[in-house]
Chain A
C-alpha cells in the first residue's frame, strides 16, 4: 500500500485560484486476430510466451509486416472521431530501453499519424442534473504496438524493487494499439474530473460500437494517461504538466484528475513549482506517486522504420470505411432518449452509471425501457457502486435482465424475489431460470398450499381476523405479511389477499 505525503488544497479552493487544463491519451488494444506486425495470435490469457515468433520477439533478422485489419480499425476509429485520414503516412522507430520491449524500440507513428484533427462531443453530467456538451478536440490517433509484460518474482510488492528475479511474457508484445490524443481541454473548471471521465466513457462506448476492441479497462485493453496542469485563474495559460500513467477505470480517471488538481494547487499555492514528471496512480489509496522525472526532454531518436513501406490508404478505401461507421453516439443518445421517453435526469443517471449501452442492449433484447432502467439503475448500479466494480463486469448481462423481467411479468417472480435472482447472478450460479429452480424462488400459486397458509395465519392472529370480519379490510395487510413470512416471500400476494377476504367474509 502506497503512503502519500502529498499536501492537497481543497477542490473548491483549487478552483478559486487556478484553472485546470487536461490532456488525455487513451490507448486502445485492438481485437484483431493477429498482431500488428506478424501473424501471431492475440488471445488474452494464453500460457506465457506461446503466442510469439521471431518478429514479435525481435530476433535478429526478423522483419515486420503491417496488419491490414489493424490499419482498417485505426481508420475507422479516426473517422468516428471526425478525423482526417492521412493520404500517406509511415511508421517510425521510437528508440528507448524497456525491459519487456524485445527490439529496444517501439514501432509507432511519430509525426505522420494515420488520423488527425478530429473532435468528439462529450455529454457531461452537470451538478444541477442536466447534461452539458463539451467538444473535446482530438489531435491525433496513431498506430503502434504493445510491449510484453514483466512479472517480478519474490519481494512483497510485486514490483521490481526487492524481487529475486523477473519473468517476461511476450504474448502481448506486438499487439496492435491505437493511441488517441486530445488537444488540451481548457475551460472546464469544476467539471474537469467529470469531463475526463465522460470522455473516456464515451470513447469506450464508441470503441465498443465500432467493434474494434474488447474495450475492457480491467484487462488493460483500454488504458488512459491523464495529463494535467494548472494555470493562475483567468490567465488563459498552461502550467507545467504531470502525466499520470495507466489509469484503469472510469472512476479512477475522475479521481486522478481531481487528485492532481488538488496536489498541484497545494504546491503552487505554497509558492512551489510543479516538476514535469510521470506519476503512478494507485487505485487502492486514490493517490498518485512520482514516477520518472522528465526534467530533460526524452530523446527517442525517432526515425522512419526502414523495414516497412508507407501506408497510403486510397480515398475509396477511406469512404468505404466511413460507410461502416455506427451511428454517432451523441445523436444516437438524443434519438434513444426520445424513443425511450426518459427525462433528462433519467438519461443523466443512466449515463453516469455507465449503463447506457447496457440499458440499450436490454431494451433491444425485449425489455421495456422503464424495466431496463429500473433494474440497471436501482439494483445493478447500486451493487456496482457498493462493490467498486464496473457495472459491465458484475456478471449480469442484458439477456439476464430481460429474463428476470419476463419472470416478473408472467407472475413467477416479484421484485423481492427478483433481487435474490440477481444475487445468484453475481455469484455465477447460472441463468435466471436455473437460479429460480436451484434456490426455489418461484412464487407459489398452488391453491392448497396457499389456503393452508392462510388458515394458519388466521389461527395465529385471531384479533386481526376479527377486525377483518368486522369490515376493517385494511387490516388484511398484516395477515398477508404473516403468510408471506411463512412462505419466505414466495406467495402470490394478490391471491393471498383474495383468500383471506373469502375466508373471513
Chain B
C-alpha cells in the first residue's frame, strides 16, 4: 500500500499493520475518525454519544504502550464504536430509549472491558432501535440513522448505528448485538460484514437484555478478517455470565486467513429452500445465486436443504422475544435511574411510574410489552409461550438434520435491500418480515455471518449473503466467509464498500 491519504478508508487489519510499522499513531487514527464523525454524522446519525476525550486518552495510552514496546492485542490502538445497548462505565447508555436518558452506568459490560483491556479506543455509542426492537433503527427515541449508501434509506436495525458508522467510515470496527438479525441484516443493507456468534460465545454481562435467550453481541466490520480479529478479542467464557460457554475457542483470525486463499474443496454447502426464491427481491436473489456459483467454482459442493419448521420461526420469535422483553423492561420504574416524569398535583408513586413509562417508552416497545405480558399470562402461556418454545425445538432439529449432511447453510441475509425511511413504519408485520432469514439462527443459538454479496441491479444497493454453521463451529463462518469475500473482491477490485458514495459535504 502506498501512502494512503485517508486512513479512515482502511480495514482494521491494515490499520493494525500501519500502527505496528509506525506509519500512523493511535491518536492520529482516533482524531481522523473523530473528524470524519464531525463531517458526516450530521447526515448519517450513526452516533448517540461521541466520547472524544475518552477515546483520545485511550489512544494516547496505546501509543505510549507501543513506544514502550508493548501492545495489548493485535488491534491495540484501532478505534471502535459500540452499540448503545452495552454498558460503559461513566458513559451514557440509553439503549436508544428516553427512559434511560442521562443514565451513567457504574460498570462496564464484559465486552467493553475486553475492548479496553485490548487497547481499542472507544469512539462512542451508536444509535439503535429502542431497546433493540426493530429492523430499521427508525424506532430510536433519538431519531433514525441514515444508510450511507442512500441517506433516504434505512441502515437496517436494530444495530443500524453500528453498521452505518462502519459503512460511512466513521469507525473501522463496531460492536453490535443480534437478537433476531440485528447485526446481520444491517450488515447486509449497508455492505458491511456482521457476525452473530454461537449463543454464549461472547459474554452478555452488561448487554442490556432485549430477549435474554436470543441476544448475542458480535462484530460489525468491513471485512471478514476484521470480524475474526475482533471476535478473538471479545469472545470467551465470562464467570459473570453463566450462559457463556466455558471452552477453548480456536483462532478465528487463523480461520479467516486460511479461508481467504479461496479453496473450497471438500466443503459442503446447503442452500435453504425455505429462505430463497419467490417473494425475494430479484436483485438480492441474483447476487446470492452468483455467490453460490463462485463457491462451487472454488470447489464447494452445493445441495438444496429443506428446513420445514423455519416457516414458523417468525411467529415463535414474536412470542418469545416480547415475553422476555416484557419481564426485562418492568424494572424501569422511574425511581432509581433514568427518566422521571412527575405529573402535576399530588401524584402517587404509581402516577409517577405511569407518566414516566408513557413518556419514556416508544410505541414499538409498548406494543411488545403488551404482547409479551399477554403471551405469559396464566391461561395463555401454554397456547403462546409454550407453543413457541416447541417450535424453537423443531427449528433446532431442522438445523441438526441439515448439518448432518452439510458443513454450512446459506441464504440471502435479508429478503430485500434497504427500504426507504418511513416506508414500513406503520406496518409492523412488514417490518418484522425483514428478519425472516436471520431469526432461525437466534432461536437455535447457532452462529451466522452476513458477507456483502454485491449491489442489487434494480436499486444499486448492497445485498448480503448469510452463512450459518452448527453451534460452536463459528470457525466455519470465517473460513467460508473469507473465501467468498476474496472471490468477490476479485470481481470488484476492492471491498464492496469502496463503491459507497462519498459523504463529504453531506451533513444535513
Do A61 and B205 have beta carbons less than 8 Å apart? yes
Q: Is the CB of A60 within 8 A of B327?
A: no
A62-70, A228-236, A333-341, A342-350 - the one binding chain B: A62-70
Cβ contact within 8 Å between B205 and A63: yes
Q: Which residues of chain B come closer than 8 Å to A59, judged between CB atoms?
A: 87, 105-107, 337
Is B347's CB within 8 Å of the partner chain A? no
- Binary flags per residue of B188-216, CB closer than 8 Å to A gives 1, else 0: 00000000000000001111110111000
CB-CB under 8 A for A60 and B330, given A54-B106, A299-B378, A309-B243: no
Within 8 A of B (CB), among A290-307: 297, 299, 301-303, 306-307
Whether the Cβ atoms of B242 and A65 lie closer than 8 Å is yes
A130 within 8 A of B: no
- Please, how many angstroms separate the alpha-carbon atoms of A105 and B331 in the complex? 8
Of residues 352 through 404 on chain B, the ones whose CB sits less than 8 Å from some CB of chain A are 373, 376-378, 381, 385
* Residue interface mask A42-64, B partner, CB < 8 A = 1: 00000000000010011111111
Are B327 and A95 neighbours in the complex by a CB distance under 8 Å?
yes
Q: Are A309 and B207 in contact (CB under 8 A)?
A: no
Which of the segments A14-22, A96-104, A261-269, A352-360 contacts the partner chain?
A: A96-104
- Indicate if B240 sits at the interface (CB-CB under 8 A): yes
Interface: B351 (CB within 8 A): no
Which residue in A102, A297, A301 is a CB contact (below 8 Å) of B327? A301
Question: Are B242 and A66 in contact, CB atoms less than 8 angstroms apart?
Answer: yes
Task: Say how far B453's CB is from chain A's closest CB, in angstroms.
Answer: 33
Nearest-Cβ distance from residue A294 to partner chain B, whole angstroms: 13
CB distance B349 to A303 under 8 Å?
Answer: no
**Contact call A61/B86, Cβ cutoff below 8 A:** yes
B349 contacts A308, CB within 8 Å? Answer: no
Residues of A within 8 A of B377 (CB): 299, 301
Q: Pick from A62, A63, A307 the residue with the most CB of B within 10 Å.
A: A63
A93 contacts B by Cβ under 8 Å: yes
Contact B324 A306 (CB under 8 A): yes
Contact at B331–A63, with CB atoms within 8 Å?
A: no
Do A102 and B331 touch across chains, with their CB atoms under 8 A apart?
Answer: yes
Chain B contacts of A63 at CB under 8 A? 204-205, 240-242
Closest to B372 in A: A301
In angstroms, Cα B106 to Cα A2, docked, is 44
Collect the chain B residues with CB atoms within 8 Å of residue A66's CB. 242
Bound: A57/B336 CA distance, A: 10
- Size range of the interface on B? 35 or more
Interface SS of chain A: loop
Instruction: List chain A residues, Cβ under 8 A from B208.
Output: 60-61
Q: Which of B105, B243, B324, B349 contacts A61 (CB 8 A)?
A: B105
Give every chain A residue within 8 A of B106 (Cβ-Cβ).
Answer: 54, 59
Asked if B239 and A60 make an inter-chain contact with CB atoms under 8 angstroms apart, the answer reads no
Chain A CB within 8 A of B461 CB = no
B105 touches A95 (CB 8 A): no
CA distance A503 to B87 in the complex (A): 94
Instruction: Report chain B residues within 8 Å CB of A308.
Output: 242-243
B333 proximal to A (CB < 8 A): yes
Identity of the chain A residue whose Cβ is nearest the Cβ of B373 in the assembled complex = A301
| A66→B103 CA distance, assembly (Å) | 28
Chain A contacts for B241, CB-based, 8 A = 63, 65, 307
Q: Is B109 an interface residue (CB 8 A)?
A: yes
Does B376 contact A303, Cβ atoms closer than 8 Å? yes
Please tell me if the beta carbons of B330 and A105 are within 8 angstroms of each other in the complex.
Answer: yes
- Residue from B242, B324, B381 having most chain A Cβ neighbours under 10 A: B242
**Whole-angstrom CA separation of A117 from B204 in the bound complex:** 36
Q: Which of A64, A303, A307 contacts B385 (CB 8 A)?
A: A303
Cα–Cα distance between A104 and B353 once the two chains are bound (Å): 13
Complex Cα spacing A63 to B106, Å = 14
In the complex, B291 has a CB within 8 A of chain A: no
Bound CA–CA A54/B113 (angstroms): 15
Please indicate the chain B residues that have their CB under 8 angstroms from the CB of A297 in the complex.
Answer: 378
Asked whether any CB of chain A lies closer than 8 Å to the CB of B314, the reply is no
- Bound CA–CA A307/B212 (angstroms): 6
Given known A-B contacts A61-B206, A303-B323, A97 and B105 have beta carbons under 8 A apart:
no
Distance in Å: Cβ of A70 to nearest Cβ of chain B: 14
Q: Which residue of A lies closest to B213 (CB)?
A: A306
Distance in angstroms between the alpha carbons of A103 and B86 in the assembled complex: 18
Count chain A CB atoms within 10 A of each CB in B206, B327, B337, B385 and give the residue with the most. Answer: B327
- Indicate whether A93 sits within 8 Å of B243 (C-beta atoms), given known contacts A54-B107, A63-B205, A301-B377: no
A60 to B378, CA, bound (A): 27
**Counting CB contacts under 8 A, is B100 at the interface?**
yes
Distance of A110 from chain B, by nearest CB (Å): 11
**Distance in Å from the Cβ of A462 to the closest Cβ of chain B?**
84
How far, in angstroms, from A306 to B103 measured CA to CA in the complex? 25
Question: Which listed residue (B207, B331, B337) contacts A103, Cβ 8 A?
Answer: B331
Q: Could you tell me the distance between the alpha carbons of A424 and B55 in the complex, rounded to whole angstroms?
A: 67
Task: List chain A residues, Cβ under 8 A from B109.
Answer: 61
A161 CB to closest chain B CB, in angstroms? 12
Quick check: is B93 within 8 A (CB to CB) of the other chain?
yes
Interface check B95, CB cutoff 8 A: yes
Give the complex CA separation of A54 and B241 in angstroms: 13
CB of A104 within 8 A of CB of B385, answer no
Closest to B379 in A: A299
**Complex Cα spacing A308 to B93, Å:** 24
Closest to B350 in A: A97
A297 to B100 Cα, complex, angstroms: 33
Cross-chain contact B243 with A60 (CB below 8 angstroms): no
- Min CB distance, A195 to chain B, in Å? 33
Task: Please list the 10 inter-chain residue pairs (A to B) with the smallest Cβ-Cβ separation, ordered nearest first.
Answer: A306-B212, A104-B330, A306-B213, A301-B376, A61-B206, A60-B208, A61-B87, A61-B208, A104-B331, A65-B242
List residues of A whose CB falls within 8 A of some B CB.
54, 57-66, 93, 95, 97, 99, 102-105, 297, 299, 301-303, 306-309
Which residues of B are in contact with A by a Cβ distance under 8 Å? 86-87, 93, 95, 100, 103, 105-107, 109, 204-209, 211-213, 239-243, 323-324, 326-327, 330-331, 333, 336-337, 349, 373, 376-378, 381, 385
| 13 chain-A/chain-B pairs, Cβ below 8 angstroms | A54-B107, A59-B87, A60-B208, A61-B86, A61-B206, A63-B240, A95-B376, A105-B330, A299-B377, A301-B327, A306-B324, A307-B209, A309-B243
Q: A61-B207, A95-B376, A301-B381 are in contact. List 12 more A-B contacts (CB 8 A).
A: A60-B95, A63-B204, A63-B241, A93-B327, A95-B330, A103-B330, A299-B378, A301-B326, A302-B381, A303-B324, A306-B213, A306-B324
